[in-house]
Amino acid sequence: MGPVYHNIVKRGPLLQTSQHLLSLVLIGWAPLVAHAQLDSARLAGSVRSSINGLPIPGVMIAVRGTQIFDVTDSAGTFALGWLPSGRQKLRILYQDSLSYEQEIKLTAGKTLKLSVLLDVNAVELAPIVVEAKSIRAERSLAGFYDRRKWGFGRFYTRQDLERRRGLPLESLLRESGVSVGCRTGYCLPLGWTGGRACVMSLYLDAGRMAGDQFDLIRVDELAGVEVYKRGFDVPVEFQWGTGNACGAILLWSRY
């Protein structure tokens, strides 16, 4: 069974501002609460900026048709309890500019943990909503921000890339300490293993690319870049055979 949250349900009409309508309903009868925990599902997670990975407070997270919602705190986190199991509609509301829905599947007695990324500067783009710690999350921009906490490799957020607008990807790689070897018509990102130069692995949105295609990508087309110059720093989900020994470059396009 997943983690148990405080017995607090936040209720209120979803189309009005949360500041005036949050109410707390305390359920005090222990046997009823225990029974409800077995038959109901829970939802928790965080909301971050897809621009720089910082938490976004004040985002309303609701499950349609239940009138149960939460508003993200200063750390960007939310938690909802006593939700019906099965396929439900997750609703995300932010200020007066964003109203977004996505289908999710809730399991009785379990907590579904979500990672949500919002582009608050361009709200016409759909939020990125993935199950935290899933393969899909690891192979998305959500995984980029999770790995950024580890301290391995070199990371460039979309905010960092905006400051380098107009530069070729080659310049960004050289800035991060990657050697770039060029021949007639193409260039390759080079690492070192066993005292010899080798071609680094290259990924775009978790899909492998040929190393000589990196100069086809423009910095202003990207939402994030990860550079791992040492093979043992490459995330395990991006290791294949012995190809990770030379390091890897992970590119994430804008959505």
Do 158 and 203 share a domain, yes or no?
yes
Q: What is the pLDDT of residue 11?
A: 36
In the sheet that holds 59-63, the strands lie side by side as 23-26, 8-11, 68-71, 59-63, 86-94, 98-106
Quote the pTM value. Answer: 0.79
Q: What is the pLDDT of residue 39?
A: 76
How buried is residue 97: exposed, middle or buried, by Cβ count under 10 Å (0-12/13-18/19+)? Answer: exposed
Do 14 and 122 share a domain, yes or no?
yes
Do 128 and 159 share a domain, yes or no?
no
Residue among 132, 96, 138, 109 at smallest CA distance from 1: 109
Domain that includes residue 94, residue range: 8-132
d(Cα 55, Cα 17) in Å, to the nearest integer? 20
Boundary-marking domain end, from 68, 101, 132: 132
Strand bridging mode 201-204 / 207-209: antiparallel
d(Cα 211, Cα 226) in Å, to the nearest integer? 15
Q: What is the pLDDT of residue 193?
A: 82
Q: What is the pLDDT of residue 65?
A: 93
How buried is residue 241: exposed, middle or buried, by Cβ count under 10 Å (0-12/13-18/19+)? Answer: exposed
Q: What is the pLDDT of residue 241?
A: 62
Q: What is the pLDDT of residue 33?
A: 42
Boundary-marking domain end, from 68, 102, 132: 132
Q: What is the pLDDT of residue 1?
A: 44
Domain count for the chain: 2
Do 29 and 110 share a domain, yes or no?
yes
Cα 88-73-223 angle, rounded to 5 deg: 75
Do 17 and 128 share a domain, yes or no?
yes
User: Are residues 68 and 82 in contact, defined by beta-carbon separation less than 8 angstroms?
Assistant: yes
Whether 140 is covered by a domain: the verdict is no
Q: What is the pLDDT of residue 37?
A: 54
Q: What is the pLDDT of residue 144?
A: 96
Q: What is the mean pLDDT of each run of 10 residues along the chain (255 residues)?
A: 40 36 31 54 96 95 96 98 96 90 96 94 78 92 93 94 90 93 88 87 94 88 95 88 79 88
Q: What is the pLDDT of residue 45?
A: 97
Provide the residue type at 245 as one letter: A
The CATH number of residue 124's host domain is 2.60.40.10
E-only strand ranges, 145-214: 154-157, 179-183, 186-193, 196-199, 201-204, 207-209
Q: What is the pLDDT of residue 8?
A: 36
Boundary-marking domain end, from 81, 102, 132: 132
